[in-house]
Structure 1
Amino acid sequence: MASTAAPRQATLYRMVMEQHTCPYGLKAKDLLRRQGFTVEDKWLTSREATDAFKAEHGVKTTPQTFIDGARVGGYDDLRRYFGKPVADPKATTYKPVIALFGMTALMALAASHAVYGTPFTPRAGEWFIAFSMAVLALLKLQNVESFATMFLNYDLLAKRWVPYAYIYPFAEGLAGVLMIAGALTWLSIPVALFIGTIGAVSVFKAVYLDRRELKCACVGGSSNVPLGFVSLTENLMMIAMAVWMLIAHLSGAGM
């Protein structure tokens, strides 16, 4: 027989004001409903009402969820209540890198299909590296100051000449865009070869010789990606692309 048990009840207090609706309140409400709860949705429609609620219950934040009359807590507390993972903003992770390379690979395959009618061409491999360089540069350029600060922890040239830390993302972006276009190879090849070689040597020394535990500046200055394989791969990809283009250029094959 089908269950006739009534859904469990939850009371949610969240900020819903004329110019602000708390996103965590919306997420908490959605989570409760997906877990089979009916939600008594209590709106805190002013700063005064919110402050009074916090004072009454001795809490510092909203939203706040109550189940069976007992306070569960905020959105993260609610996720823990249901046995769901809660992200640690300080934890190291490779997710940004996986997402980046996954998307640039799909972009390269799509571009190859659009131009040649098939996604699997040598040009797709070249575009994958060039697109990756351009997107990595974009992430660094979102906050050059933050990137430079992190970069100065390990890059050998930047430590000797600080302006290089600010030049690097522009140089990487320029080389990537030129390689996408297959233009000005006389410029893109030496730029990619230079910054890639310096970067690879710097990362290898910092991680594998000095055994330092650092965060990688490869996806921007606010990332929690550990310095090591990913950054080394980024630099080796640039070197490989530059060498590949140089060989093609010298053999007269072009790009």
Structure 2
Amino acid sequence: MGRMTRQATLHRMVMPGHSCPYGLKAKHLLERRGFTVDDRWLTTREQVDAFKAEHGVKTTPQTFIDGVRVGGHDDLRRHLGLPVADPDATSYTPVIALFAMTALMALAASFAVEGSAFTFRAAEWFISFSMIVLALLKLQDVDKFATMFLNYDLLAKRWVPYASIYPFAEGLAGVLMTAHALPWLSIPLALFIGGIGAVSVFKAVYIEKRDIKCACVGGSSKVPLGFVSLTENVMMVLMALWMARMWF
């Protein structure tokens, strides 16, 4: 005799021009876990409001299993024994993903230009590409970045405009270093911002023992200030010293 199919009822918002993404995720999750889903659409604002009032809930979707309300998407994940992300938790995932992609970009560029992925140019490009992408993330919202940056950068605390200038300077240095152009500008620029950044992070994290977020991937970052932030700045300094060795 076959295993009995589990039943679930899902109430989710599906209106003209809008389908609730969490409703779609809940439906997919239930089906993936072997449930037969009675998918009930709430197609008007009136239906949504009436459903919320009837069941005393503030949001949709809502899942019912065996006639018992489980709750929304996150509640469903908990019910099924799956992890639920903490929106306030710190995470290194954005930085790991960024460095992984810039490393692959550098290897690809090296292979296309040099005929081999593993070259000194690939190492250079990894650092310069990382600088450019990090600058791009900061430039998405310069004001948010600057506000977070002011928490720990020593120069920005003394001269506030530096916090807004920083992402432009980092991006410019990265572009020039990628092209090996204007070394008289890119090298001192990277040394300057990287050196101050490294000292600032080291002081905040390892001397003052502060537990704060890093602005390295933008002002909405959940990345903790620490080793990764220090590495970003040290890489800039090392890149500048490497290029200075070649050019001067």
**Same fold, TM-score > 0.5, yes or no:** yes
Deviation at 1:7, TM superposition (A): 1.2
| Paired position in structure 2 for 1:117 | 115
2:212 equivalent among 211, 214, 218: 214
- 1:183 deviates by 1.0
- Cα deviation for residue 207 of structure 1 reads 1.1
**Equivalent residues in 2 for 1:101-112, closer than 5 Å:** 101-112=99-110
Instruction: Name the structure 2 match of 1:197.
Output: 195
Task: Tell me by how many angstroms 1:6 deviates.
Answer: 3.0
Q: Which residue of 2 aligns with 1:84?
A: 82
TM-score, normalising length: structure 2: 0.99
Partner SS for 1:92: coil
What are the Cα deviations for residues 39-58 of structure 1, in whole angstroms up to 9, with x where unaligned? 00000000110000000000
Of 223, 226, 231, which aligns to 1:225?
223
Alignment of 1:178-193 (within 5 A): 178-193=176-191
> Which residue number corresponds to residue 146 of structure 1?
144
Q: Find the residue that maps to 1:85 and give its secondary structure.
A: coil
What residue number does 1:12 align with?
A: 10
**Percent same amino acid among aligned pairs?**
77
Q: TM-score, normalised by structure 1?
A: 0.96
Task: State the AA in 2 paired with 1:18.
Answer: P
- Whole-angstrom CA distance in 2 between matches of 1:74 and 1:213: 32
CA distance in 2, matches of 1:59, 1:146: 34
2:172 equivalent to 1:174? yes
Could you tell me how far apart the structure 2 residues matched to 1:233 and 1:168 are? 17
Any idea what the Cα deviations from partners look like across 1:134-188, whole Å, max 9, x if unmatched?
0000110011000000000111110110000000000000000111111111111
Deviation at 1:230, TM superposition (A): 0.9
For 1:199 and 1:80, the matched residues in 2 are separated by 41
Aligned equivalent of 1:132: 130
Counterpart CA distance in 2 for 1:228 and 1:6 is: 52
Cα RMSD of the aligned pairs, angstroms, is 0.7
SS in 1 for 2:96: helix
Q: 1:63: which partner in 2?
A: 61
1:31, 1:81 → 2: CA distance?
12
Q: Give, in angstroms, the shift of residue 13 of structure 1.
A: 0.2
* Offset at residue 71 of structure 1 (A): 0.4
Q: What residue ranges of structure 1 are gaps of 5+ in the alignment? A: 251-255
Secondary structure in structure 1 of the residue aligned to 2:30? helix
**Secondary structure of residue in 2 paired with 1:220:** coil
- Aligned to 1:190, what secondary structure does the other structure show? helix
Distance 2:210 2:39 in 1: 50
User: Number of paired residues?
Assistant: 248
Q: C-alpha separation between the residues in 2 aligned to 1:185 and 1:102?
A: 27
Please state how far the C-alpha of 1:206 moved relative to its aligned partner. Answer: 1.0
